[in-house]
Structure 1
Amino acid sequence: MPALPPSSLTNWWCDYSTEYAFMGFSYEVTACQSLSKLRSDFLDIRKTYNSRYIRMYGACDRAGDNDIVDAAWGAGIGVHALIWFGFDGTNQWMSRRNTLLGILHSNPKAKFVTRVLQFGSEPLFDGVLDPPVLAAQVTAAKANLSSLQIPVTISEMAYGYQERENDGAQQILDAVSLLDIHNLPFFSTLASTASKAWPIVLTDLNWFFDNGQGKKIYMSQNGWPSVTSDGVQPNSPSAVANVQNEHDYYTLLDSHCADFKTMPNGGVGWFWHIYSDEMEPGYGLLSTSGKLKFSPFAPKTSC
């Protein structure tokens, strides 16, 4: 990063066509990590694993978004920012939206680290808003952020769009600037072992290629769990959750770098969900003790 924020965003971001293969990690902020913790983790994510981005997950309601901007700037890493709806059906997301939009305008570094703003994590699948209402929120946020050149999307799996097809999901596909999609093949009814998951990954990607209007695609929530839990149960009796399969899913993704590069609309980038098991048990690259669950983890960022 330069010593001070530049005067213009011109030529700041790399072209979308260069953003394929490994992008970075989902990073949950529900624990309201301190600024020093964010700085340490973001530097590790950037320097150790060559990540380009953090994809935010969860919410910290102590107005910690300025800390995220600060830590991302210091680490030289971009952010897929997130307005978290949660699971309690309240309107707290509105204050989170207003706070984040305010920070994106007021913090001089924010537009230089924020690659995209996402509404929710599977908001269609969770039914948090009627699709036309959610589409209107996306459209309003795009207008709000137009001077900052920050695109707006939602973070959602293909099934979420398909499930709400008759309720107006097409309006969201029309409204979003790009596609942050979820690809979690462990939950497929066809799942078995991670090494056999590529056809499942492709099925969802092909749906977005066919329906995404040529928009850039990132697999923003994407992984394979090492354990099952109350919220992580397979839909196939053959699906296997263990560290070996988590490792094998990483190997599978990394082995398809050339495929991700040549996919439509400038290629597809993938995130690893999630940085640590402290955040989302079973999905982390790091265990709850902060140790690598498998090694090496050195995914390709180009090929």
Structure 2
Amino acid sequence: MVSLTLFTLLALSGLSSFVQAAHIKLAHVHHARAPAPAPIGSPATHARQRRCAAHRAHNSTASVARTSTHTTSTHTSAAPQKTPAKQTSSGASSGCFPALGFETPANVPDSLDGWWCDDKTEYAFLGFSYEVSACQSPSTLDKDFANIRNNFNGRYIRLYGACDNKGFYDDVVEAAYKNGLGVHALIWFGFDGDNKWETRRDALLSTLHSNPKAKFVTRAVQFGSEPLLDGVLPASQLAAQVRAAQDNLAGLKIPVTVSDMQWSFQMNGGAGLKVLDVVDVIDAHMLPFFGGDATTRLPLGSPNAAWPSIKSSVDKFWVPQANGRKIYFTENGWPSGVHDESQRPNSAGAQASLAQEKDYFALLDANCAYFKSVPGGGLGWFAHIYSDAMEDGYGILTASGKLKFAFAPRTHC
């Protein structure tokens, strides 16, 4: 947990919202990068309040003991409403995974050669963050993943939270393979300061080696979601964990990253930049709702205050630091409502409403050409999050599975 005092100080200092990014590296090497920029006049620093209360409640009840039998929750959701306009997969090959139109073979391939799509085709909308502390049943995973693929043209899911049921990631792999979705897997630290993450790490790595389909759907492993911001490990230890996971997964050719904010890497004198030196992909968090200058009230065609902050962070921090590596926005969104005092923004211009959430994603979609041009093969973005049942206010679907607004962003341009 980051205190409200820290966020207040950041907001008063004029720091605005941060962007972050991700790239795939298969060789375990040191990445040259630009010198750490000083917190410049308007660094895109998103000093955000932690939205963790609901997740701590979820994880305190959903993290069940691992048993010899795989148990699943009884969580169900209403049949999701279809998005109005389904687009085609123009601009990308359909002969690779997880391109739109690609059919996964019934028999698992013998090799990864030619399997994954060129990441230069993976810009614009990719898919959704998908929270798993409800320990969704295999049938729910299958239903949700089919909806993401067939009605939203999703190519990936980015896992969030944790389910500690034995075999749960096997269920994720099965549903993802069946429905043609790649996965950004996650080693979840949580907010309790315990060592459960070590068990989660070991279980995930074991499944990646034992499940024959796992390496064919797992595009990357995230070593934590905002672990630097939360201070779960010193930066040097987190970097060592990333390197150890890279060594473990080298034979499977699965990249390893850390999913975090720009500020997280720059705080403490830039200590977190040593983590950027070693990650294969930089999974970036973009939540400009918490920026000191945040607003989406201006028309999309005018100099929207949210867009310069986003673009500045990409151009001035992530692109130089990535040094050619692939960039993704992983935890990325704008809330339709604020349901807890800790979720309040740092700018009076930042309004949480259904119209604002819709406008934010329209803003990203309107800048498809920019995302395509970002060095490293373009920038791909996830919508955080799939459903309000997973994080209230941030979902594209309501908690009952209905579409909150028309959502059909481009996957290519």
TM-score by length of 2: 0.72
Deviation at 1:229, TM superposition (A): 2.5
Distance 1:211 1:3 in 2: 40
Matched, 1:15 2:155: no
Query: What are the Cα deviations for residues 214-269 of structure 1, in whole angstroms up to 9, with x where unaligned?
Result: 21110011000001122421011221110000000110011111110011111100
Distance 2:150 2:180 in 1: 9
Alpha-carbon distance change, 113 to 243 in structure 1, aligned in 2, over 3 angstroms: same
Matched, 1:233 2:233: no
**The residue matched to 1:7 in structure 2 has which SS?**
coil
Indicate the residue corresponding to 2:332 in structure 1. 222
The ranges of structure 1 where at least 4 consecutive aligned residues each deviate by more than 6 angstroms after the TM superposition are none
Distance 1:110 1:75 in 2: 14
Deviation at 1:170, TM superposition (A): 2.1
Indicate the residue corresponding to 2:145 in structure 1. 42
Indicate the residue corresponding to 1:202 in structure 2. 311
1:189 to 292, 310, 325: 292
Query: What are the Cα deviations for residues 83-117 of structure 1, in whole angstroms up to 9, with x where unaligned?
Result: 00000000100000000000000000000000000
Matches within 5 A, 1:74-153: 74-153=178-257
Distance 2:314 2:336 in 1: 23
In structure 1, the gaps of 5 or more residues are none
Distance 2:383 2:269 in 1: 28
Distance 2:339 2:389 in 1: 14
2:282 to 174, 179, 184: 179
Matched, 1:292 2:403: yes
Task: Determine which structure has the larger strand proportion and give its number.
Answer: 1
Bigger mean CA deviation after superposition, 121-130 or 222-231: 222-231
Q: Is the 8 A contact 1:155 1:179 kept in 2?
A: yes
Distance 1:126 1:268 in 2: 26
Distance 2:155 2:370 in 1: 19
- One-letter amino acid matched to 1:11: G
Matches within 5 A, 1:35-74: 35-63=138-166, 64-74=168-178
Indicate the residue corresponding to 2:127 in structure 1. 24
Indicate the residue corresponding to 1:282 in structure 2. 393
Aligned pairs, number: 301
Indicate the residue corresponding to 2:368 in structure 1. 257
Distance 2:405 2:391 in 1: 17
Query: What are the Cα deviations for residues 176-210 of structure 1, in whole angstroms up to 9, with x where unaligned?
Result: 00110000000000102265211111122121112
Matched, 1:161 2:265: yes
- One-letter amino acid matched to 1:301: T
**The residue matched to 1:171 in structure 2 has which SS?**
helix
Percent identity reads 56
**The residue matched to 2:283 in structure 1 has which SS?**
strand
Query: What are the Cα deviations for residues 3-60 of structure 1, in whole angstroms up to 9, with x where unaligned?
Result: 1110000111111111100000000000001000000000000110011100000000
- One-letter amino acid matched to 1:223: G
**The residue matched to 1:48 in structure 2 has which SS?**
helix
Deviation at 1:213, TM superposition (A): 2.4
Bigger mean CA deviation after superposition, 49-58 or 186-195: 186-195
Q: Is the 8 A contact 2:266 2:273 kept in 1?
A: no
**The residue matched to 1:3 in structure 2 has which SS?**
coil
Q: Is the 8 A contact 2:177 2:213 kept in 1?
A: yes
Distance 2:273 2:284 in 1: 15
Query: What are the Cα deviations for residues 124-168 of structure 1, in whole angstroms up to 9, with x where unaligned?
Result: 1111100000000000000000000000000011111111444x3
**The residue matched to 2:128 in structure 1 has which SS?**
strand
Distance 2:110 2:409 in 1: 34
- One-letter amino acid matched to 2:138: L
Distance 2:122 2:349 in 1: 34
Q: Is the 8 A contact 1:27 1:275 kept in 2?
A: yes
- One-letter amino acid matched to 1:201: I
Greater Cα radius of gyration, structure 1 or 2: 2
Distance 2:373 2:189 in 1: 34
